[in-house]
Amino acid sequence: MSGIVIAGVSRIFGTVRAVDNITLTVAQGEFFTLLGPSGCGKTTLLRMIAGFSDLDGGEISIGGQRIDKLAAHRRDIGMVFQNYAVFPNLSVAGNVAYGLKARRVPPPEIAARVEEALSLVQLSGFGDRQPHQLSGGQLQRVAIARALVIRPQVLLFDEPLSNLDARLRVSMRGEIRALQKSLGITAIYVTHDQEEAMSVSDRIAMMNAGRLEQVGAPVEIYRKPATRFAAEFMGTTNLVEARMLGLAAPVSVSLRPEALRFAEEAPADWPRLSCVVESLEMLGPITRLDARLANGTTVRMATLDTPSLSVQAGQAVTLAYDPARLTVVA
């Protein structure tokens, strides 16, 4: 019903194609993330949906209705900003009620809905506070309540957690995800943090230089990255020429560190690689290890902490990899 269709959308600044002919479909109720490095066009695309950036080509529709020519304030889209954008001249309740007043909702209903929205973001009883009395996390909750309370067709998040500290970021993203699912609202979420993207999204669109690199479920992009860029941006990977692994095809392949194991622990049918340990990093549950192959290529391996094994830098080891997890990248 309120799925989003983005068809051939472009935005050009001078000679730079900030958004280059992007086509996407977001399903009703889906949590969809635009992921990419800064300058990749993800924020511009989000702002085009919100109505804050013009389209130089293409169309955007929500629920079958074309919206790209519609004024931003008529689009019925909630938006949560990186820097909260909580109105400093209004109380918390005033902020949350703002969109309802714009919609001429009767005052008694406003009061009820504001209270409901505040309790959704766990800020019950904060209505009379002034914004300057709140912490960053609380401010972002106010911003979310303010965007939710108008019951928009679509909720947009523009890097909403990047101003918060690491611990708060992790708990807030869980809350956002839970809230979105419980309300069943379509959400588009912009971030440059792949871990955040993976944790919250139903699907992710990887963007680079204004173009889509790959669209898919987090697991799919992680396990089957279509491009070098997608493979590298999404976590750590070993990008090597296939022949380095003793294969004949003239292609590049991505091999995740966790698809490598010590030969002793690997199934017998996995291909073996002899190498020398270069360096070793013990991270608690995980041990990371860089090893050099005979031809000079370095591969990175990650393994769960295994007390029975003792490996040291400079030691010659034999590794094995899971051929099923070898992905050819463009």
The residues binding other proteins (CB under 8 A) are: 50-52, 54, 69-79, 81-89, 98-99, 102-103, 131-132, 139, 143, 146-147, 150, 156
Nearer to other proteins, 165 or 305 (CB): 165
Residue among 143 and 329 whose Cβ is closer to other proteins? 143
Q: How far is Cα 63 from Cα 27, in angstroms, rounded to an integer?
A: 9
| Backbone phi, psi, residue 18, to 5° | -65, -40
Q: Which is nearer to other proteins, 132 or 167 (CB)?
A: 132
Pair 321, 291: CB distance under 8 Å: no
Closest to other proteins by CB, 102 vs 282, is 102
- Write out the DSSP string of 215-244: EE-HHHHHHS-SSHHHHHHSS--EEEEGGG
| Bridge partners for 301 per DSSP | 289
For the bound state, the minimum distance from the C-beta of residue 71 to other proteins, rounded and expressed in Å, comes to 4
What does the alpha-carbon distance between residue 309 and residue 237 come to, in Å, rounded to a whole number? 23
Rounded Cα–Cα distance for residues 160 and 201 (Å) = 14
Q: Please, what is the minimum distance in Å from the beta carbon of residue 80 to other proteins? A: 9
Q: Closest approach of Cβ 153 to other proteins, in Å?
A: 12
Give whichever of 159 and 213 is closer to other proteins, judged by the CB atom: 159
Q: Rg (Cα) of the chain, in Å, rounded?
A: 24
Which DSSP helix (H) or strand (E) runs through 161?
none
Q: Least CB distance from residue 53 to other proteins, whole Å?
A: 9
Name beta bridge partners: 33. 189, 204
Give Cα separations from 90 to 73, 97, 146, 207, 294 (angstroms): 20, 10, 12, 37, 66
Question: Measured from the CB of residue 198, what is the shortest distance to other proteins in angstroms?
Answer: 26
Between 127 and 131, whose beta carbon lies closer to other proteins?
A: 131
Minimum CB–partner distance for residue 233 and other proteins (Å): 26
